Amino acid sequence: MSKKSKNSSIEFDAIVVGGGHAGIEAVYALLKKKLKVVLITLDKKKLASMPCNPAIGGPAKGIITREIDALGGVQGKFSDLAMIQIKYLNESKGPAVLAIRAQIDKEKYSKLILKDLKKQENLLIIEDLVSELLVEKNRVFGLKTAKKQVFFSKTVIITTGTYMDSKVLRGSLAIPSGPDGQQTSNLLSNNLKRLGFELQRLKTGTPREFLLLQLTFQKLKRRFCLFII
């Protein structure tokens, strides 16, 4: 789509807010229907990023991946192109818990998706923060961004994940930030509250990862724990 489409007088068939895994699947589903779509994301180089665990599949997530694939989604396709290795899990525990998990080169995964999306004629990708939904008589007709851009559509799909009014917790330290060091935003959160939506918090936990050879165990203090059974 040409850069002229940034003109606020252009009305899109749909606007997708957030370029994570859900947002990417939404974009491809809309493009298959030959619809004009604008994707608004913080950083187009981190589309469908994997800040917690660069793996697709497994005992739990594998169910979702197969459902996405059955519905014509693209997660499995790009996983095949960006995988480092793939293996069966729980082979000794029986077929009920047998699962496939692929370890992914997460940077390559994002690059492949961006490269493919750039080929799509009916898609405009904008790097920005959504600040406000435009609503009249309880019906959305577009949105505004932090950079004062305005986009019109009767369909707005919000797939922001854990980036709205988010914090990263490190021990007792709370840092306003999104996952993977990306920017956080409370603009859309506050707007949704003003519109009458009830928001809930989601907390996830990801342990730090260390390279064993870089640890100096001699400097560590031994801690003893008492377990009562």
Give the model confidence (pLDDT) of 48-82 as tens digits. Answer: 999 888 999 999 899 999 999 999 999 999 999 99
Q: Which residue has the higher pLDDT, 112 or 1?
A: 112
Q: Quote the CA–CA distance of 182 and 41 in Å, as a whole number.
A: 11
For the record, the structure tokens of 61 come out as 């997530």
What single string gives the DSSP state of each residue in 185-229? B-HHHHHHHHTTPPP------------GGG--GGGSPP-------
Mean pLDDT value across the chain:
88
Which ranges in the chain belong to alpha helices (H)? 21-32, 61-70, 75-82, 106-117, 187-194
Q: Which residue has the higher pLDDT, 19 or 203?
A: 19
Lowest mean pLDDT among 64-78, 128-142, 145-159, 201-215: 201-215
- Identify the pLDDT of residue 197: 92
pLDDT higher than 60, residue 171: yes
CATH architecture of the domain 14-163 equals 3-Layer(bba) Sandwich (3.50)
Residues 6+ apart with CB under 8 A from 192: 133, 199
Q: What angle do CA 85, 87, 91 make, to 5 degrees?
A: 170
Q: What angle do CA 177, 82, 35 make, to 5 degrees?
A: 75
Residue extents of the structural domains in the chain: 14-163
pTM of the model: 0.82
- Identify the pLDDT of residue 217: 82
Confidence of residue 130 (pLDDT cuts 50, 70, 90): very high
